[in-house]
């Protein structure tokens, strides 16, 4: 199975940069997802990394190091609306590819 | 597309009652997932279907839980009898394929069992 670890909570200031880390252990790697979930809402897709390196998408970037079992989500120019939970998810190996979700990191952005 | 549709959005019931949650996936998506989310346990996969067939129900907590998908556009998750510990948000999600594919979540059903 997969084991995913993320910090429980982080706080940051509006306009700043924040990095949310995710470490994982899996028997076979099939990519890594990041989802955003605002309070009271459903998770929504942010990014998918399957190769090492940084992928940038506007204010959000996602990094992956397969050899280290490590990923991070980088949020730049933070806005109040970025306050949400950020979930790291790793698909299973062995053919099913069904993702296991981490517990999520609750990000609080304050003025 | 309307996205994944779930009903009801909120459900309050008493212990021992039957609860039925409903989901309509995005048209053309072959996979449908039922998740449960709580503060204590996070987002847990309960069961998933591929082309209307249940593939893995190992996440279903116990026999009180059952799920069906009679056709490509409808699925139900039933709890009978319900217990207070079943209180959670239940999400339905769908995807075109399972591997490396984005899941699209419905708005969720917030269930409170008194």
Q: Across the interface, which of A31, A42, A103 has its CB nearest the CB of B100? A: A31
- pLDDT of res. A99: 82
Q: Which of A29, A30, A43 to mutate to test the interface with B (most CBs of B within 10 A)?
A: A43
- pLDDT of res. A100: 86
CB contact A87 to B (< 8 Å)? yes
Q: What are the CB-based long-range contacts (under 8 Å, 24+) for B82-86?
A: B82/B13, B82/B14, B82/B15, B82/B16, B82/B17, B82/B18, B82/B19, B82/B111, B82/B113, B83/B15, B83/B113, B84/B15, B84/B113, B84/B114, B85/B113, B86/B19, B86/B111, B86/B113
Interface touch A45/B103, C-beta < 8 Å: yes
Interface touch B102/A41, C-beta < 8 Å: no
CB contact B56 to A (< 8 Å)? yes
Number of residues written out for chain A: 111
User: Does residue B74 surpass a pLDDT of 70?
Assistant: yes
Q: Provide the token pair at B100.
A: 């490396």
Residues in chain A, pLDDT under 70? 1-2, 93-96
CB interface of A with B, residues 50-69, below 8 Å: 50
**Among all residues of chain A, which has the CA nearest to that of B88?**
A40
| pLDDT classification of B93: cutoffs 50, 70, 90 | very high
CB contact B106 to A (< 8 Å)? yes
For residues A26 and B26, the model is more confident at B26
């Amino acid at each position: 199975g997969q084991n995913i670890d993320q910090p429980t909570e982080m706080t940051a200031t509006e306009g700043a940069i924040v990095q949310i880390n995710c470490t994982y252990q899996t028997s076979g790697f099939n990519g890594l997802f990041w989802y955003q979930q605002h309070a009271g809402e459903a998770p929504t897709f942010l990014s998918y990394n399957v190769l090492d390196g940084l992928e940038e998408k506007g204010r959000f970037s996602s990094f992956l190091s397969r050899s280290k079992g490590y990923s991070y989500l980088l949020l730049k120019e933070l806005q109040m609306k970025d306050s949400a939970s950020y979930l790291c998810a790793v698909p299973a190996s062995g053919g099913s590819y069904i993702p296991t979700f981490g517990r999520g990191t609750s990000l609080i952005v304050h003025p | 597309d309307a996205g994944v549709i779930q009903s009801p959005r909120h459900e309050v019931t008493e212990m021992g009652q039957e609860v039925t949650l409903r989901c309509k996936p995005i048209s053309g998506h072959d996979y449908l997932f039922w998740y449960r989310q709580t503060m204590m346990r996070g987002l847990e996969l309960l069961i998933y279907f591929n082309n209307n067939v249940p593939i893995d129900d190992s996440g279903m907590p116990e026999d009180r839980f059952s799920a069906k998908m009679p056709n490509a556009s409808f699925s139900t998750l039933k709890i009978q009898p319900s217990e207070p510990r079943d209180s959670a948000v239940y999400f339905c999600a769908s995807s075109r394929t399972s591997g490396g594919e984005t899941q699209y979540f419905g708005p969720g059903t917030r269930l409170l069992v008194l």
